[in-house]
Amino acid sequence: MSTPCPPSLLSLAIDAALFNLHNISDLSFLPEHLLIDLFLRTLRAGKLTDRILRIFVATGKEEILSVIQALNIQFVLTPVLPTITIDSNEVDIVIAAFHSDLTSFMEEWRPIFSRFHLIIVEDPDLKEELKIPKGFDFDVYTKSDIDKLAGSSNAAMFSGYSCRYFGYLVSKRKYIISIDDDCSPAKDNNGDLVDIVTQHITNLRTPATPFFFNTLYDPYRKGADFVRGYPFGLRSGVTCVLSCGLWLNLADYDAPTQSLKPELRNSRYVDAVLTVPKNTLMPMSGINLAFDREMVGPALLPALKLAKEGKFRWETIEDIWCGLVVKAVCDHLDLGVKTGLPYVSRNERGSAIDSLKKEWEGVKLMEELVPFFQSLKLSPEAVTAESCVTEIAAAVKKGLGRSHTELANVADSMVAWLKIWKEVRSRV
Amino acid sequence: MASPTPVLKDELDIVIPTIRNLDFLEMWRPFFQPYHLIIVQDGDPSKVIKVPKGFDYELYNRNDINRILGPKASCISFKDSACRCFGYMVSKKKYIFTIDDDCFVAKDPSGNDINALEQHIKNLLTPSTPFFFNTLYDPYREGTDFVRGYPFSLREGVPTAVSHGLWLNIPDYDAPTQLVKPRERNTRFVDAVLTIPKGTLFPMCGMNLAFDRELIGPAMYFGLMGDGQPIGRYDDMWAGWCMKVICDHLGLGVKTGLPYIWHSKASNPFVNLKKEYKGIYWQEELIPFFQAATLPKECTTVQSCYKELSKQVKAKLGKVDEYFIKLSDAMLTWIEAWDELNPSAPLPNGNAK
């Protein structure tokens, strides 16, 4: 009987390495044949973990890599589960088309929009037919659809930027996401494309916290929570019905500001969503927003048309008006409004100075509108968005209509809108 | 091209409450060295607190506080970092920056050290916009402005009284949240400063805070906490609620957001729970109280606002617990002590010379 050979010094050394593998983070110094030996012993000892596999792979040595491949050893992939599943039947994406050729716009948004239904409303002034690329599920509405539904007397309500409200009107879904047709997807700080649909829907599906400010912003975001001192009674929040996104590159500045600072571009990606507190008014931008149509649809209305409203955002304040109305409704009904993410990237278009020369009215009007809305009080009987809007329209006619004729028309438009809204609802 | 932020080294004091040591100052040295420090030593006065060399400072322990304030020293908390407000009282400077001794220099996403003090100064030297929300946050920051629809008449803003900074790493959670999420860390760097709108209250954290002492100093009383008191960890909360009501009344602004500091120490959640326990129940009453609090228009100075508030605390919160009766008296004592140490006719908005 022969006694087994005592282990060589080399063998003992490799065993020692195996024993201490948890302390080793780099094996690139090992000659290849020893590396293989260590690897096989690791396998036999059942010590191959994800971390250790990475260390072997990191040596870059060909033989090791081919052994790993030959044995079909793979890294364990932890799937990134979506935290929120969006039912595409709940979402309509409404786009107002000011350009007939929507090909490049749609292609840019394809990765994000392709699984959703789109409502495209053509600017009634556009004469050409729309060009839309294949592969989308969409409906187009044109001037004739507007004329038919709204009637000739009300069709003017849906002209220019306000044509998108027609899209809100005919939608049958719960959530609407609406962006201007001069926006592209933005990139976040990691270089990933911002999925505005997921972010807007997340904002709308998590509660808002308008009664007390949380210093870590939206407490429902991953990695955040309510801070010390936040009353527990307020932590369930309220339903969020409006999500206002932001813009990189050409931010939504007014014409005077952009003219004064022609080089000013927004490059700051602020990674926050926050609730706009109760009784705080804000300028709502129509460029990138989403809302719960079932809860506040009636309050997103086309009403304030400037005399010289044009085809650039600098020449409108219809969305600003809308935002004041919606916020007043939300504050009264204890509903929430969020602002912040998601970002879109807004492309260069138009000249601020030209717009400024053309349209000053909006800027002047804001001076009257803000104090009016700040002092607005709605009655306790107004318990729906419709009844709130009715009361606001009456207050506008009485309070502002007398001094400004265009605002008297606004009140009438609001009432007309509610009538059409009700009518369309009743047909469903 | 933005002009460099003024250093304000002769106009700003840094107030630090401490009970153990001030080693953390070494990391802050490049940013803090030009400034005068006011160190408020809590706990055992016989212990010697070592201050790293090269700092210009004054240090007060409990004996000093008793000596300087006499019987009024009863309003300054013992065995709680709330004692820091004594530092606000004795300072002679226009601005105060206060920081906890477990807060270190944080890094921004590019990996650069954040000069928290410089950002606070920027926040305080630019106006606030509490009357209308700007969706691009602080419009006075470089690279941004007021958005379309923002009324021009409101673009001048109001003076900023308080700059509330945030924290990376250990977030400022209450004890129940800490117990449920012991591993959560704040890793999100939100590159924004914003004004907290008028009429909106918030939980003010004293870990990383700066304010204009001349505008709002007397309102920054950190209450009765710690030894002999039924509650702890609500000192900064209390000051924040009182301060915001008064700022809203006087038309002063409060900003929150940048700068970030790195909060390194997670306090024991069970100890915290014991301290906060009553507060967690009481805050359900306190918030509605502060939300509904109104001050008469005759109150045009911070001191008069504060005294009026203390009356309302006694009348309305005295029913919640007799602690609030004691607290309301302490609030008055604080104002008396403040006026004694800061003699001069307070002008509207507390602009003392």
- What's the pLDDT tens digit per position in A77-121? 655 555 578 888 999 999 999 999 999 999 999 999 999 999 999
Average pLDDT of every residue of chain A: 90
What is the rounded CA–CA span in Å between residue A45 and residue A201? 50
Task: Give the ipTM of the model, two decimals please.
Answer: 0.92
Judged by a CB distance cut-off of 8 A, whether residue B214 touches chain A is no
Residue A111 domain-assigned? no
Residue A342 domain-assigned? yes
What is the rounded CA–CA span in Å between residue A305 and residue A411? 12
Residue A39 domain-assigned? yes
**Does A252 contact B147 at a Cβ distance shorter than 8 Å?**
yes
Residue B82 domain-assigned? no
Q: Using a CB-CB distance cutoff of 8 angstroms, which residues of chain B are in contact with residue A267?
A: 143
- CB under 8 Å to B193, separation ≥6 — which residues? B119, B123, B137, B138, B141, B255, B256, B257, B258
* Total structural domains within chain A: 2
Q: For a pLDDT cut of 70, what percent of chain A falls above it?
A: 96
Residue with tokens 């999100």: B188
**Cβ atoms B263, B167 nearer than 8 A:** yes
* Average pLDDT rounded to a whole number, residues A70-77: 78
What is the rounded CA–CA span in Å between residue A56 and residue A42? 11
Nearest CA in chain A to B141: A268
**Other C-beta atoms lying within 10 Å of the C-beta of residue B134:** 23
More confident site: A54 or B91: B91
**Cβ atoms B142, B303 nearer than 8 A:** no
pLDDT < 50 positions in chain B = 1, 350-353
Judged by a CB distance cut-off of 8 A, whether residue A252 touches chain B is yes
* Total structural domains within chain B: 1
pTM summary value = 0.85
Given this model, what pLDDT does residue A356 score?
75
What is the rounded CA–CA span in Å between residue A366 and residue B150? 7
Residue B73 domain-assigned? no
Q: Using a CB-CB distance cutoff of 8 angstroms, which residues of chain B are in contact with residue A317?
A: 148-149
Given this model, what pLDDT does residue B348 score?
53
* Average pLDDT rounded to a whole number, residues A329-342: 97
Q: What is the pLDDT of residues A185-238, one digit of tens each?
A: 999 988 889 999 999 999 999 999 999 999 999 999 989 999 999 999 999 999
Residue A95 domain-assigned? no
What is the rounded CA–CA span in Å between residue A272 and residue A251? 17
Judged by a CB distance cut-off of 8 A, whether residue A114 touches chain B is no
Given this model, what pLDDT does residue B1 score?
44
Residue A253 domain-assigned? yes
**Does A270 contact B190 at a Cβ distance shorter than 8 Å?**
yes
Q: What is the pLDDT of residues A41-52, one digit of tens each?
A: 999 888 888 888
Q: Using a CB-CB distance cutoff of 8 angstroms, which residues of chain B are in contact with residue A254?
A: 146-150
Of A32, A54, A71, the residue at which a domain comes to its end is: A71
- Residue B49 gets the label, from left (phi > 0), alpha (psi -120 to 50) or beta, of beta
Given this model, what pLDDT does residue B243 score?
98
Nearest CA in chain B to A366: B151
Stretch among A59-73, A337-351, B38-52 having the lowest mean pLDDT: A59-73
Stretch among A144-148, A289-293, B217-221 having the lowest mean pLDDT: A144-148
Residue A211 has phi, psi (to 5 degrees) of: -90, -15
Q: Which two tokens stand for residue B43?
A: 């706990």
Residue B230 has phi, psi (to 5 degrees) of: -80, 0
What is the rounded CA–CA span in Å between residue B353 and residue B345? 9
What is the rounded CA–CA span in Å between residue A333 and residue B65? 51
Given this model, what pLDDT does residue B349 score?
54
Residue A375 domain boundaries: 184-426
- CB under 8 Å to A182, separation ≥6 — which residues? A98, A346, A347, A349
A291, β-bridge pairs: A176, A242
Element (DSSP H or E) covering residue A139: strand A137-141
What is the rounded CA–CA span in Å between residue A312 and residue A346? 12
Residue B84 domain-assigned? no
Of A47, A71, A95, the residue at which a domain comes to its end is: A71
Given this model, what pLDDT does residue A279 score?
95
**Does B173 contact A228 at a Cβ distance shorter than 8 Å?**
yes
Residues A260, A399, single domain; the answer is yes
Nearest CA distance, A271 vs chain B (angstrom)? 5
More confident site: A355 or A26: A26
- Of A169, A132, A130, A133, which is closest to residue A148 (Cα–Cα)? A169
Nearest CA distance, A240 vs chain B (angstrom)? 17
Smallest Cβ–Cβ distance between B203 and the set A229, A251, A320 belongs to A229
Residue A133 domain-assigned? no
Q: For a pLDDT cut of 90, what percent of chain A falls above it?
A: 60
User: What one-character-per-residue DSSP string does A330-388 give?
Assistant: HHHHT-EEEEEEEEEEEPP-S-HHHHHHH--HHHHHHHHHHHHHHH----TT--SHHHH
Q: How confident is the model at residue A76 (pLDDT cuts 50, 70, 90)?
A: low
B230, β-bridge pairs: none
Q: Which two tokens stand for residue A18?
A: 């195996």
What is the rounded CA–CA span in Å between residue A7 and residue A36? 18
Residue A115 domain-assigned? no
User: What one-character-per-residue DSSP string does A232-266 give?
Assistant: GGGTT-B-EEEEEEEEEES----HHHHHHSTT--B
More confident site: A245 or A159: A245
Residue B295 domain-assigned? yes
Residue B121 domain boundaries: 103-341
Q: Which two tokens stand for residue B63?
A: 């004996």
Of A22, A40, A71, the residue at which a domain comes to its end is: A71
Q: Using a CB-CB distance cutoff of 8 angstroms, which residues of chain B are in contact with residue A219?
A: none
What is the rounded CA–CA span in Å between residue A218 and residue A227? 11
